[in-house]
C-alpha cells in the first residue's frame, strides 16, 4: 500500500526545509542556538503529526479494500445460487448445454401491494317499456381483491344500485362481499366475513354477460332473494372429480310478520347492516361440475326463526333448492326449483307457509363473424308472497365481445298481475 502523492510531497518538502535549516546560512548565523533548536522541535512535531495521519489513511484504505473484496465474493456467491436455481428446471440443447435459465417465466412479481391487489367490476343499464316505462342504470359494481400471501386473500364487492343513492333517492350503496378466505390444504378453504350465499345459479355469479334476460329471473329473485349475502363463516371442500361441498353459518333473514310484506322472503334481507343476529342460518351446498358443460347442484338452508323472534310464535324455516346448468356446444339449458317451508300459525293463516317456484330456460347460441348471438326462452312458475303467477320470457343476447352484452327480451306475467314488458339492456364486465 502506498501513501498518496500529496502526502509524500508534503513530507519531502518538510524534510528539505529541515535540512536547509540545519545548514548555517548568513541568516542563521544571526539566530541563537535556542531559536534554532525550538524550530527543529516544531518541525519534528509536524513530521510526527503527518506520520500519524499517514497511518490513519493507510488503515482506512485497507478497510475499504477488504469491504470491496467481501462484496465481490458475495456477488460471486449470488451468481452461483442463481445458476443453481435455474438449473432446477434443466432443459439442455443437443450438446448438453443448459439453455433455459436466461429468460424468466411470466410470473407475477410478489413485492408491492399493487402486484397483490386487483380490481374488476361490472355494470348494466336497463330500458323497460310496456306496463312500466323506465330507464335505469341498475347496478355498477367494483371488485377489489387482495392477496395477502399464497394462502390468504380478501374478496370485496361494492355496488351502487339505481345510479343515485342518498335520502329520498332510489338507489343504494351496498357492500355485497367483503370476506377473507384462507386455503387450508387438502382441498379445504375457510372464509369469514360478508359473502354471497352459495345457493341457486346466479346468486354467486351474476355478471350481466353470464346470463340470459335483461332482468334476473323471478324465481331467483322472490324464492332465492338474489343478490343474497350474509355475514358469517364458511368452509368449502373441493374434490378433483368436480364435486364441491360448502357449509356456512351466517346471519339470517328477518322477514316482516305482518303488513303487505309479511313473510316475503326477499323483504327479509338485512344486508348485514346492523342486522339482528338472534336467529342464525346455516346453508349446505353441493355442486358437481365434473362433466364439462354440465353442472348440477343444490342447497339446503335452515333458520331457527325467520322473523328473528319479533313475532310471538316461532317461525323456523327450511329452504331447499336444486338446479342444473347445461352448456353443450351451442345448446344451453338452465333449470331451478326452490321451496320454502315456514312453520307457525301466522304464515299458515296467510297461505305463505310454503312458497316455491321453478323455471326452465332452454337457449341456443351461435358463433358468428360479428360475435355470439344467443336466443332463449324461459318459463317460470311462482307461488310466492309477491308473485303467484306463470311468467314467460323470450329474447336474445348479443355479445360483440365476451365481456360486453346487449339484450332484448319480452316478459309476460300471467294471471292476476297481467303485465307485459319489453326490456332492453346493455351490460359489461371488466
Partner 1 sequence: MTSRFPRFLIIGWLALLIGGAGSSAYGQAGTYLSTTEFLAEGFSGKGTPSAGAYTLSSTDQAAAKAILGHAYGTSRLRYWRSGDRSAWILEEIGKTRPITTGFVVDGGKIHLVRVLIYRESHGGEVKNKFFTKQFDGAKLGSAPRYDLSRRINSISGATLSVNALRKLSRFALYLDGKVSG
> Which region among 100-108, 213-221, 265-273, 346-354 touches partner 1 (by CB under 8 A)?
100-108
- Does the footprint of partner 1 cover residue 405 (CB under 8 A)? no
Q: Is 279 in the site for partner 1 (CB under 8 A)?
A: yes
Give residues 334-373 in contact with partner 1 (rule: CB under 8 A): 367, 369
Task: Pick the piece of the chain touching partner 1 (CB under 8 A) from 106-114, 124-132, 343-351, 356-364.
Answer: 106-114
108 touching partner 1, by CB under 8 A: yes
Rule CB under 8 A: which of 280-319 touch partner 1?
280-282, 284, 287, 289-295, 297, 302, 304-305, 309
Residue 43 CB contacts under 8 Å (≥ 6 apart), including other chains: 14, 17, 18, 21
Q: Could you give phi then psi for residue 123, rounded to 5 degrees?
A: -160, 160
- Report in angstroms how near the CB of residue 69 gets to partner 1 at its nearest: 36
- Among residue numbers 231 through 270, which ones bind partner 1 (CB under 8 A)? 235, 237-242, 245, 247, 249
Cell readout for 239 is 374434490
Closer to partner 1 by Cβ: residue 10 or 282: 282
User: CA 99, CA 92: separation in Å to the nearest integer?
Assistant: 5
Nearer of residues 211 and 421 to partner 1, judged by Cβ:
211
Is residue 199 within 8 A of residue 283, CB to CB? The reply is: yes
- Residue ranges in 148-187 that form contacts with partner 1 under rule CB under 8 A: 150-151, 153, 155, 181, 183-187
Told to check if 99 binds partner 1 by CB under 8 A, we report yes
Residues in region 30-59 near partner 1 by CB under 8 A: none
Interacting residues with partner 1 between 8 and 27 (CB under 8 A): none
Separation between Cα atoms, residue 12 and residue 324, nearest integer Å: 100
Q: Cell digits for 49?
A: 503529526
**138 vs 125: CA distance, rounded Å:** 5
- Pick one of 92, 164, 273, 418: the residue that binds partner 1 (CB under 8 A): 92
CA dihedral in degrees (199, 301, 176, 151; nearest 10)? -80
The rounded distance, in Å, linking the Cα atoms of 192 and 181 is 7
Judge whether 245 and 362 are in contact, CB under 8 Å. Answer: no
Comparison of 217 and 411: residue with beta carbon closer to partner 1: 217
Residue 102 interacting with partner 1 (CB under 8 A): yes
Contact 429, 205 (CB under 8 A): no
User: Which of 69, 401, 415, 418: binder of partner 1 (CB under 8 A)?
Assistant: 401
Give the nearest distance from C-beta 117 to partner 1 in angstroms.
Answer: 9
- CB burial of residue 66 (10 Å; 0-12, 13-18, 19+): exposed
One DSSP character per residue, 29-69 reads HTS-HHHHHHHHHHHHHHHHHHHHHHHHHHHHHHHHHHHHH
- Residue from 6, 26, 30, 88 in contact with partner 1 (CB under 8 A): 88
Q: E strand or H helix at 113, and its extent?
A: none
Site for partner 1 in 204-223 (CB under 8 A): 204-205, 210
Task: Kindly state the smallest distance separating residue 92's Cβ from partner 1, in Å.
Answer: 6
Distance CA(138)–CA(162), nearest Å, equals: 5
Q: Choose between 222 and 287: whose C-beta lies nearer to partner 1.
A: 287
Judged by CB under 8 A, which of 19, 105, 349, 416 binds partner 1?
105
Neighbours of 230 (CB within 10 A): 23
Smallest gap, in angstroms, from Cβ of residue 136 to partner 1? 25
Residue number, 3 or 198, with CB nearest to partner 1 = 198
As measured in angstroms, the least distance from the Cβ of 128 to partner 1 is 26
Cell of 28: 542563521
| Interface size with partner 1, residues (CB under 8 A) | 78
Helix axes 5-22, 33-86, angle to 10 degrees: 170
- The residue among 6 and 329 lying less far from partner 1, judged by its C-beta, is 329
Amino acid at each position: 500500500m502506498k501513501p498518496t502523492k500529496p502526502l509524500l510531497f508534503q513530507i519531502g518538502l518538510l524534510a528539505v526545509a529541515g535540512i536547509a535549516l540545519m545548514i548555517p546560512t548568513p541568516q542563521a548565523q544571526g539566530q541563537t542556538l535556542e531559536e534554532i533548536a525550538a524550530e527543529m522541535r516544531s518541525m519534528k512535531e509536524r513530521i510526527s503529526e503527518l506520520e500519524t495521519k499517514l497511518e490513519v489513511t493507510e488503515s482506512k484504505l485497507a478497510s475499504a479494500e477488504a469491504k470491496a473484496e467481501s462484496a465481490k465474493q458475495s456477488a460471486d456467491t449470488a451468481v452461483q445460487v442463481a445458476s443453481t436455481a435455474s438449473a432446477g428446471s434443466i432443459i439442455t440443447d443437443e450438446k448438453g448445454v443448459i439453455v433455459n435459465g436466461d429468460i424468466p417465466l411470466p410470473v407475477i412479481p410478489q413485492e408491492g401491494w399493487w402486484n397483490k391487489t386487483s380490481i374488476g367490476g361490472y355494470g348494466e343499464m336497463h330500458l323497460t317499456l310496456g306496463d312500466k316505462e323506465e330507464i335505469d342504470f341498475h347496478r355498477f359494481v367494483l371488485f377489489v381483491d387482495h392477496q395477502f400471501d399464497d394462502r390468504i386473500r380478501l374478496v370485496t364487492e361494492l355496488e351502487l344500485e339505481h345510479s343515485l343513492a342518498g335520502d329520498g333517492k332510489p338507489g343504494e350503496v351496498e357492500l355485497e362481499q367483503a370476506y377473507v378466505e384462507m386455503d387450508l390444504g387438502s382441498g379445504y378453504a375457510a372464509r369469514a366475513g360478508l359473502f354471497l350465499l352459495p345457493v341457486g345459479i346466479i346468486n354467486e355469479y351474476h355478471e350481466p354477460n353470464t346470463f340470459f334476460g335483461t332482468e334476473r329471473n323471478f324465481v331467483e329473485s322472490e324464492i332465492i332473494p338474489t343478490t343474497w349475502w350474509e355475514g358469517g363463516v364458511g368452509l368449502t371442500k373441493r374434490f378433483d372429480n368436480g364435486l364441491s361441498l360448502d357449509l356456512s353459518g351466517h346471519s339470517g333473514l328477518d322477514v316482516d310478520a305482518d303488513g303487505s310484506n309479511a313473510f316475503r322472503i326477499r323483504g327479509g334481507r338485512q344486508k348485514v347492516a346492523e342486522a339482528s343476529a338472534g336467529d342464525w342460518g346455516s346453508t349446505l351446498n353441493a355442486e358437481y361440475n365434473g362433466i364439462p358443460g354440465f353442472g348440477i347442484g343444490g342447497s339446503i338452508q335452515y333458520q331457527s326463526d325467520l322473523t328473528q323472534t319479533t313475532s310471538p310464535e316461532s317461525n323456523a324455516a327450511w329452504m331447499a333448492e336444486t338446479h342444473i346448468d347445461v352448456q353443450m356446444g351451442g345448446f344451453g339449458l338452465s333449470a331451478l326449483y326452490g321451496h320454502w317451508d315456514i312453520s307457525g300459525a301466522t304464515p299458515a293463516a296467510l297461505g305463505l307457509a310454503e312458497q316455491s317456484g321453478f323455471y326452465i330456460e332452454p337457449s341456443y347460441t351461435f358463433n358468428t363473424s360479428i360475435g355470439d348471438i344467443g336466443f332463449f326462452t324461459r318459463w317460470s312458475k311462482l307461488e310466492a308472497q309477491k308473485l303467484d303467477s306463470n311468467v314467460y320470457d323470450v329474447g336474445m343476447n348479443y355479445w360483440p365481445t365476451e365481456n360486453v352484452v346487449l339484450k332484448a327480451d319480452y316478459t309476460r306475467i300471467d294471471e292476476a298481475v297481467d303485465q307485459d314488458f319489453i326490456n332492453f339492456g346493455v351490460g359489461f364486465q371488466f
